[in-house]
Structure 1
Amino acid sequence: MRRTSPTSKFALFFKANWVQLLLALLFFLFVFPWIYRKAQDAISSFKQNKQDNATDELKNQIDNAIKVNSAENSTANPVTRTQKQTAVAKKYKSKRLSKAKMRELANISENIAIAFGTNAEENGSLLGVDFFGDVPKTFSAMTEDEKEAIKQLKKVPGTFGIVADYYYNVYTRSRNLKTDIKRFLTTSQIQELRDHYKKYGIRNVI
């Protein structure tokens, strides 16, 4: 009996199944890459959406925290203020500053806010409603005492960060001290502060 060679078997198989083989080849050449790209796009889109949602959630949390902090500071409630002063002081326990020193820094921060007219009492809500945002609501808040602000700022070359923390979290409606320095002081006044800080080896603070 004559045996069929492997080549003949393959030829017979190909002849009987060439349509299926062609379709399979076309699938792997064209359809599979398209499916793969779509799957990759879907995965990337899912990851991006997840990241965007996380970013939005974090932004909302920050925005809410700012609103709460601003609202609390606007009341200038003595009990709340004391609690917030204590919370700020706890952040800097590792610096081993005395309670008297921390109180001094808190007072300096308040003095700066008053000098700039950004203190919470001057820029709080009107009858519990914030109609004007950052627009000062009293005459004293519309005037700045730059000399007093500079005098106070010169006292804290090594503890500027703590003063800025008090400024933001206790004495103003969530205002950034560096931003307000650049807003209320002239270029020459800012340079005066920088030169003063350099004497203590402090650079790039302002």
Structure 2
Amino acid sequence: MTVVTPDDVRRTRFGHAPSGDLGYHPEQVDSFCARIAETMLGRDHLGIADIRLVEFDAPPPGRRGYDIEEVDDFLDHVCIELEYLRRGRGRLPAGRTDQTLTHDDVLRIRFSAPPFGFRGYQAEEVGAFLDRLAATLAHHGPNGLTAKDIQDITFHLAPVGEPAYQREEVDAFLDLVAHQLEKSEVTPH
């Protein structure tokens, strides 16, 4: 996965939807990508939840839209970049591995409460997961979490009124962690 800059986001163009599919409205996608670039520069305020929940119309009659899967994959990648920015650290150039998520980073992570009217993940379950992840990153032992463990994890929704975390933020963090663990599983320590 390569670093995505605001200029990359602005310049990104997507392939056409496969024949028979309408796809996403190209102008809406391009406009949303411009807002993402502005957010990366600190001049707009899109959050990870805004990106994960965005909906695009079908293209105007007679026009082909952007490939839905291609756009969705790109937006997932952008969520990871925004998570790095939110943590206050830039991504590294390709090939460098000295700035990765650490035990201390995990202990400091804070997720937002879900928006009013929405249910989030049970804070207690997410907290227990963070403890296990912190131990994995601190010890790199045989009993640690793997990328597959991260991809397979599920959290229960908190009952109304109980402590909860915004699902989209937690999901974006899980994407980031799974990516890092995949790299460390391939690269010897």
Q: Give the TM-score normalised by the residue count of structure 2.
A: 0.23
Specify which structure has the higher proportion of helix. Answer: 1
